[in-house]
Amino acid sequence: RAAALPHRAVPKPIEGVKQVVVVASGKGGVGKSTTAGKISLFLFLYFFSVISFAHFVVFCMEYLGACVITL
């Protein structure tokens, strides 16, 4: 008989946040920070050209190694 999974609380949505993009990998050195940086640059350029303003945040959390702040 399979063991039941532990109950996990569903996180509450953050007011004002419409979309979330996550860049993740179980291995280091595959370009997660670079990818996150390029996605944020694309979003800024795209939305700034279409609606003349853009509001978004890049949150980088690295256990070891480089982070978006160094790019």
Does the structure show a pLDDT above 70 at 66?
A: no
Domain range list for the chain: 32-70
Nearest C-alpha neighbor of 58 from the set 50, 45, 66, 69: 69
Nearest C-alpha neighbor of 60 from the set 39, 37, 30, 38: 37
Distance CA 23, CA 60 (A): 9
Q: What is the pTM of this model?
A: 0.59
Could you report the per-residue pLDDT of 9-61, keeping only the tens digit for each?
A: 777 888 888 888 888 887 777 888 888 888 888 888 888 777 766 677 777 77
At residue 36, φ and ψ (nearest 5 deg) are -60, -40
pLDDT grade, residue 2 (50/70/90)?
low
pLDDT grade, residue 70 (50/70/90)?
low
